[in-house]
Structure 1
C-alpha cells in the first residue's frame, strides 16, 4: 500500500522501502563510508521520522545500513573536523547546526511510532546511540557496538548515556562509554541491549518480522502502549539530564583543544596527543 502522505523529500542518504504492510524500511545508504552520519543525513533523518508519525498507513519502521559491514560508524568525523577548522568556528555548532539539532534525529527521538534496529555490522558512536533509543534491536552475529568518542576527544552526548544506564546499568554503561571498547553482539544480548542475534543474512528479515507482528495490532494501541513504555523508561529527568550536559560540559568540550586534536588526528590517521582538560 502506497503512503497517503508522500515522503517529505527525495532522500540521498536514506533509502525508503515498504517490505510489509504498515512497515517502513529505512536504509542508511552510504556504505562506502560505513553509513556514517553527515549533515545531509541528519536533515533527512529528522524529516523521515516526522513523516513516519504523520503517515497513517505506516505503523512501525525498521532502520538498517547498506551492505554488511556497518549499521553506522557514527558521525562523519572528517566533515566535523572541516567544520571545526572553518574560519571563525568556535566549536559551538556542528557543521552549521546547533548541538540539539545535530544529535536529535534518532538518538533523541521521542516520536509516536516504534523503530526497530536491524544492526547489520558495526554500530559505533551515533550508531550505538541510535540503537539505545530504538524500541527493539536485532543484531547480526558479526555486529559489534561501541562508544569510541572518548578516543577522539568528543563525547557520546546524543542522549544515550542516561538511557543506557536505565537499560544496562551504571557499571556496564560506564565500561562501554569510558573505555571506548567494542562489545560483541552476543555480549550486547547478554547485557539486554539487543533482543535477538541472527545470521547476517537474516537480520533485516527478522527485524521486519518483528515489525509485522507489531503492525498487525491496533494503530491506536501501538501508539498508546509505546507512550506508556516510554513514559516509564524516560521520565522527565532523562531529557533534562541530556540538556544540562549539552549546555554545560559539552558546550565547554567543543570550545577546547582536545576535540580539535581528536578530529585532526582521525583525518590525518595518527594517534591523538591530548592536553589536560579544562572542563
Structure 2
C-alpha cells in the first residue's frame, strides 16, 4: 500500500452510497487520515439528496476494521504529539465522526466480515442495520490496552445489549461471535460469507423502495425518543417529520396505492 492511496473508497450508485474502509493490509485500522477522509464522505452523503442509504464496509475478507491504528498512536505518543484522550472526537481528526453524527437521519448499513474490533465495532454499533458474515468477530478490547471505548462503545453496547452481558464484554474485552451477536439482537442477520453481498443488497432494495423522507423521519423520531418518556416523545419536535408531513411524497404514497402502481418518490 502506498502512502498516498485513499483510505476510503466512496462510490455512488443510484440512491446508494458505498463507503469502504480501504486499508486491508492493516486490517482496515483507522489512522488520523482515515478519519479525516471519512468526515468528508459523511458530509457529502448527508448533503446529497439523491443518496438515500449508505453501506459501510471494510476492504478485503479479513476485517471490517480493527479500530484505531495503535502503531500510529504509539508513534505520536513517543513524539509528544498525542494528547490525552477520552470520550468523543471533538478536537480530533474527522470530527464529528459517524459515532457522533446524532443528526444523520439517513440509514446506514454495516456490512461486516472478519474482525470488528475497538473503533471498528463502535462504527458498526453506530449503524442502523448490521449484517454480518458467519466469520465476523466483535470485541471492545480497550480495557486490555489501557484505553476505553471512547467512540461510544461504552454507551451503545450497554444500551443495545442486556446490561450484564454488555458489562461482561466491556470490562474484559472478550470477543462476541456473529452468531452470539445475532442471538442477543445486536445483529440483524448472519449469513455465509459468499451470501453477504446479496443479503445486504436485499436490505438496500427494501430501503430504497420506501419513501426516503419517511425513513429519515422514522430514524430521527426513534433516535430522539429513545431517551424520552412517552408523553414527551409524542410532544417533541422532529424537523425531518415536519418536512415529510408537508412533502409531495406524503401525497404520492397513498395516491400510488389507490391507483395500484409503484410510488415515484422525489424526496421532496
TM > 0.5 fold call: yes
Report whether the alignment pairs 1:68 with 2:96. Answer: no
Residue in 2 aligned with 1:266? none
Secondary structure of 2:100's counterpart equals coil
Aligned partner (choices 7, 11, 22) of residue 13 of structure 1: 7
1:187 aligned partner: 180
Alignment coverage as a number of residue pairs: 223
Q: What pairs with 1:234-273 in structure 2 (closer than 5 Å)?
A: none
For 1:118 and 1:190, locate their aligned partners in 2 and report how far apart those are by CA, in whole Å: 18
The aligned residue for residue 92 of structure 1 is 84
Q: Which residue in the other structure is 2:116 paired with?
A: 123
Equivalence map 1:202-241=2 (5 Å): 202-233=195-226
Deviation for aligned residue 1:75: 0.3
Q: TM-score, normalised by structure 1?
A: 0.74
> In the alignment, which of 139, 145, 150 is matched to residue 138 of structure 2?
145
Whether the 8 Å CA contact 1:117–1:134 is kept in 2: the answer is yes
The unaligned stretches of length 5 or more in structure 2 are 229-268
Report the counterpart of residue 262 of structure 1 in structure 2.
none
Distance 1:99 1:181 in 2: 30
Query: Distance between the aligned counterparts of 1:11 and 1:91, measured in 2?
Result: 27
1:12, distance to aligned residue in structure 2 (A): 0.7
Q: Which has the larger radius of gyration?
A: 2
Q: Secondary structure at the match of 2:193?
A: coil
Partner of 1:45: 38
Confirm or deny: 8 A CA contact 2:39 2:95 kept in the other structure: no
Q: Which residue of 1 aligns with 2:150?
A: 157
> What is the RMSD of the two structures over their aligned residues, measured on CA atoms?
2.3
